[in-house]
């Protein structure tokens, strides 16, 4: 089944409510879901979030849930990244946490689709801020799951999805201040504006599904091959004209 169907199940909605309660009924829930990879911008995201928490700009008791699926665990560079992420998470929690409350919940593991759907429903802000990426289906999964038409998507300009999901808050993830400003804007966005933006994105996701996306990629590839053939023939014709 698709993510939208899973998210509508009663057991998944119940699990979402349980997650929210387990977080201590936080003031704001932000969610990041990535492979543990340098391209995903996790360190940049944590830095922006940490600055907002330190300045109190996300209100009382915000929580960032960062799911980082294991990736290339035996490669030294990725072990180093894991250490850097854990150190930053520890610093934010150490400086701003208290008994019964942690600003960051770091989950270094993969989860089944039902748990992911529950997380999407529990989140009020979805952070998809890689430094470079392809289409990024996580952004579309979040939108597909939110049939309540609530929630804010913050999306890196370097994802393919940014061209389609223009009602998200689009940021340059290298710009820490811009990312922080987008998180603060998400906090203050009215339910009416959230609904209008999410409704528009959900319509696009429903109409432009993975099959249409794949079809467009194949069509673009065919056009590119045709363009190259035309250019090759033109160059050959110029060479013949020059020697004739």
Alpha-carbon gap, residue 34 to 153, rounded angstroms: 15
pLDDT digits (tens, 9 = 90+) for 108-156: 999 999 999 999 999 999 999 999 887 788 999 999 999 999 999 999 9
174: CB partners within 8 A, 6+ apart: 44, 131
pLDDT digits (tens, 9 = 90+) for 151-206: 999 999 999 889 899 999 999 999 999 999 999 999 999 999 999 999 999 999 98
pTM for this prediction: 0.83
Q: pLDDT category, 24, cuts 50, 70, 90? A: confident
């Amino acid at each position: 089944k698709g993510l939208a169907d899973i998210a509508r199940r009663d057991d998944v909605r119940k699990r979402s409510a349980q997650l929210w309660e387990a977080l201590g009924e936080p003031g704001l829930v932000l969610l990041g879901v990535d492979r543990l990879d340098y391209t995903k911008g996790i360190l940049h995201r944590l830095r922006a979030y940490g600055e907002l928490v330190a300045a109190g700009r996300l209100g009382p008791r915000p929580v960032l849930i960062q799911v980082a699926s294991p990736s290339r665990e035996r490669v030294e560079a990725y072990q180093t990244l894991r250490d850097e992420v854990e150190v930053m998470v520890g610093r934010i929690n150490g400086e701003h946490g208290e008994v019964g409350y942690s600003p960051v919940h770091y989950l270094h593991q993969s989860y089944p689709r039902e748990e992911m759907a529950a997380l999407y429903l529990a989140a009020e802000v979805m952070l998809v801020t890689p430094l470079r990426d392809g289409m990024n289906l996580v952004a579309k999964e979040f939108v597909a799951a939110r049939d309540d038409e609530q929630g804010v998507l913050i999306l890196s300009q370097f994802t393919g999805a940014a061209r389609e999901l223009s009602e998200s808050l689009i940021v340059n993830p290298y710009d820490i201040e811009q990312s922080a400003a987008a998180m603060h804007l998400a906090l203050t966005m009215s339910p009416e504006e959230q609904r209008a933006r999410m409704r528009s994105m959900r319509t696009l996701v429903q109409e432009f599904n993975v099959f249409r996306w794949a079809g467009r990629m194949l069509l673009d590839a065919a056009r590119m091959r045709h363009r190259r053939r035309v250019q090759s023939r033109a160059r050959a014709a110029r060479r013949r004209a020059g020697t004739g």
